[in-house]
Amino acid sequence: MEQNILTTDRLILRPWQEADAEALYRYAQDPAIGPIAGWPPHTSVEDSRHIIRTVFAAPETYAVVLKETGEPVGSAGIMLGDGLHSAEMQEGEGEIGYWIGVPYWGRGLIPEAVHRLLARCFDDLGLTAVWCGYYDSNTQSRRVMEKCGFRPHHTETGKTSPLGDVRTEHFMRLTREEWKNASENRRESMKKITRITHDKKQYLPLLLLGDEQESMIDRYLERGELYVMLDKTDHPMAVAVVTREGDGVYELKNLAVTPERQRQGLGGQMLDFIARRYRDKCHTLLAGTGDSQQTTSFYRKHGFTYSHTVYGFFTRHYDHPIVEDGKLLDDMIYFKKPL
Ligand SMILES: CC(C)(COP(=O)(O)OP(=O)(O)OC[C@H]1O[C@@H](n2cnc3c(N)ncnc32)[C@H](O)[C@@H]1OP(=O)(O)O)[C@@H](O)C(=O)NCCC(=O)NCCS
């Protein structure tokens, strides 16, 4: 089957080209990347060019290219039974492998690429199951697999890595059926995001989770566009409020997920929904937040970068101290995402 160019919100996955050698060397020379995955750091631009001509010329091997800059910053691909992988891999199954340059770690870019590759595996290539393996202690790779719906399958000990040392490798697996069910559930919850135009204050308990002073919410709720994510019984799970702040500039004023549904990806789904919905009428989406590690890393993971700081915002506008992650908030940090 001809190799496609695949796209996601933030990425283009396309075949490697020799002209990528410099970019590839920039990231793949870093000893933090290859050895943990079982391959040696690249030694020169020439070495990287050779790898593009050989290893990366394999079908279904993609350069992970940032849409924003056009630069390849990692690699991801699907391998089909080449004998190197788990002894348990059957005909009609595949294995996904990936890495990304250290400056881009922690932004959820590889999970985004892997989600797209899974659609390629099951929808286009007709695979019945996909495997993914990580060497003992590579928890960051295990997290990618968990986020993409893989389940632990088995562990193989005494495996000689391509670097020649002996390691323990853990395998995770995702069947087509599991993937279809998960996609169905995702679509279900996406469908259930609705715009609310009347009686917006009925969602005050949720809105107060995102912005804890009612008088501050009153400053934007009426002019803002309110979205609510409902579960199957029409119970609200998450809210978001977006306001128009200028020509082509919208701001996410409030985003909150009910406590019992937090850490399940709903906030991210809400952000993706807003990004898609506002893509046609806005070029920049802003989001202001307190300077807490948890929220700033959430926005960075979803493609936001630092924009500016409004000093003393929380201490000036709120009638009580706002504490998040055990930290007293003072300045408002603005993030921006180009749409
Ligand atoms: C594994 C890897 C591809 C993850 O890609 P990514 O796009 O950073 O994925 P995520 O943003 O979802 O982060 C995954 C996990 O990495 C860890 N992580 C994130 N940022 C990190 C950083 N700066 N330093 C160390 N670990 C970090 C976190 O545990 C995170 O999980 P969390 O979101 O639950 O906190 C990347 O770390 C990598 O290239 N590692 C080296 C090569 C490799 O191991 N490949 C896989 C071989 S099996």
Phi and psi at 201, nearest 5°, equal -70, -15
| Fold agreement (6-186, 193-338) | yes
| For residue 87, pLDDT beyond 80 | no
pLDDT in tens, 300-336: 888 899 999 999 888 888 888 888 878 888 899 999 9
Ligand 1 neighbour 77 (Cβ under 6 A)? no
The pLDDT of residue 303: 86
Q: Please enumerate in sequence order all residues whose Cβ is within 8 A of that of 218, keeping only pairs 6 or more positions apart, or say none.
A: none
Calculate how far, in angstroms, residue 191's C-alpha sits from the geometric centre of ligand 1. Answer: 30
| For residue 86, pLDDT beyond 70 | no
Ligand 1 neighbour 105 (Cβ under 6 A)? yes
The pLDDT of residue 196: 96
The domain segmentation of the chain, as residue ranges, is: 6-186, 193-338
Nearest CA to ligand 1 atom 18: 106
Amino acid at 39: W
pLDDT in tens, 7-24: 998 899 999 999 999 999
Q: Per-residue pLDDT averaged across 183-191, rounded?
A: 72
Ligand 1 neighbour 37 (Cβ under 6 A)? yes
**pTM of full prediction above 0.75:** no
pLDDT in tens, 34-51: 999 999 999 999 999 999
pLDDT in tens, 60-77: 999 999 998 999 999 999
Helix axes 139-147, 109-119, angle to 10 degrees: 50
The pLDDT of residue 189: 66
**Mutation test of ligand 1: which of 112, 140, 167 has the most ligand atoms closer than 8 Å to its C-beta?**
140
| For residue 276, pLDDT beyond 70 | yes
Q: Cα 245 to the chain's mean position, in Å?
A: 27
Calculate how far, in angstroms, residue 37's C-alpha sits from the geometric centre of ligand 1. Answer: 12
Give the domain 193-338 fold.
Aminopeptidase (3.40.630)
- Rounded-to-integer distance, Cα 90 and Cα 84, Å: 13
CA distances from 160 to 38, 79, 98, 156, 276 (A): 9, 19, 19, 11, 45
pLDDT band at 3, cuts 50/70/90? low
The runs of H, that is alpha helices, within 107-264 are 109-119, 139-147, 176-191, 204-210, 214-218
Ligand 1 neighbour 79 (Cβ under 6 A)? no
- Rounded-to-integer distance, Cα 173 and Cα 150, Å: 5
DSSP string, 235-291: -EEEEEEEEEEETTEEEEEEEEE-GGGTTSSHHHHHHHHHHHHHTTT-SEEEEEEES
Q: How many CB atoms lie within 10 A of CB 75?
A: 25
pLDDT band at 284, cuts 50/70/90? very high
- Rounded-to-integer distance, Cα 220 and Cα 132, Å: 46
Question: Do residues 241 and 253 touch, judged by C-beta distance below 8 A?
Answer: yes
The pLDDT of residue 243: 97
Ligand 1 neighbour 143 (Cβ under 6 A)? yes
Give the domain 6-186 fold.
Aminopeptidase (3.40.630)
Calculate how far, in angstroms, residue 215's C-alpha sits from the geometric centre of ligand 1. Answer: 40
Q: Give pairs for 325-329: CB < 8 Å, separation 24+.
A: 325/292, 325/293, 325/294, 327/290, 327/291, 327/292, 329/290, 329/291, 329/292
pLDDT in tens, 228-242: 999 878 899 999 999
Q: Cα 15 to the chain's mean position, in Å?
A: 21
